[in-house]
């Protein structure tokens, strides 16, 4: 593999993984390397990093079948807990929020709502839906990234938690846009469920968000939709 790699540059160092930009067989790519944890027993650490690497790579491959824009996976190195994937030229939605036209902003959130509904309908959760994990390309295409916390689940609770966490992100990071953007997101989410004759399931998921909020007293009643 080394001979096919031209260069690597660290672009992000997270708690679980480091991201490097580089070239692989003349393609611009991201190398996602899961970092060894010194506090874990080495054998257990290797197993955890391997399983999470495989899970994320498989998820990225699978969700393309649902019509989601996600990076293409080129190679998986389980021994190094490494995924080599397509480099997406774009900016984080989080960094664009203050400069976007209202119409573009709402269209982007509608697209994210569509993506998440497709995930949920197929028994999967993203686990970390944030505006930092949504990339907007120069031609206004929306990409969903970072499936590191992805899980296979068909429970109402897990899907509600997925949406609840995104709601909290909007309230805390984009308070001025929260109502309009969350509404656009949820309306498209509901539309996808309706088109799949799953309105009752969608209703249960959305109602359970309020249960989660009440359980943890996350936000005041006056702020709930």
Q: Which residues belong to the active site?
A: 128
Whether residue 154 contacts residue 179, with contact meaning beta carbons closer than 8 Å, is answered with: no
132, HSE (Cβ side, Cα atoms, 13 Å):
6
**Among the listed residues 212, 211, 210, the one whose alpha carbon sits nearest the alpha carbon of residue 223:** 210
Question: For the stretch 38-70, what's the b/e string if a residue is b when 16 or more beta carbons lie within 10 angstroms of its beta carbon?
Answer: eeeeeeebeebbbebbebbbebbebbeeeebbb
């Amino acid at each position: 593999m080394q001979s096919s790699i031209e260069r690597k540059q660290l672009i992000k160092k997270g708690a679980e993984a480091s991201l490097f930009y580089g070239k692989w067989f003349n393609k611009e790519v991201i190398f996602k390397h899961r970092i060894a944890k010194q506090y874990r027993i080495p054998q257990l650490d290797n197993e955890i990093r391997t399983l999470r690497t495989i899970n994320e790579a498989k998820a990225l491959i699978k969700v393309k079948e649902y019509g989601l824009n996600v990076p293409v996976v080129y190679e998986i190195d389980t021994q190094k807990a490494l995924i080599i994937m397509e480099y997406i030229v774009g900016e984080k939605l989080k960094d664009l929020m203050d400069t976007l036209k209202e119409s573009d902003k709402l269209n982007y959130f509608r697209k994210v709502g569509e993506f998440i509904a497709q995930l949920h309908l197929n028994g999967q959760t993203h686990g970390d839906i944030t505006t930092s994990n949504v990339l907007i390309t120069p031609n206004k295409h929306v990409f969903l990234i970072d499936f590191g916390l992805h899980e296979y689940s068909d429970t109402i609770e897990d899907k509600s938690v997925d949406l609840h966490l995104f709601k909290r992100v909007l309230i805390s990071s984009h308070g001025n846009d929260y109502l309009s953007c969350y509404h656009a997101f949820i309306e498209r989410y509901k539309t996808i469920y309706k088109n799949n004759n799953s309105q009752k399931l969608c209703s249960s998921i959305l109602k359970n968000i309020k249960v989660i909020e009440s359980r943890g007293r996350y936000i005041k009643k006056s702020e709930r939709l």
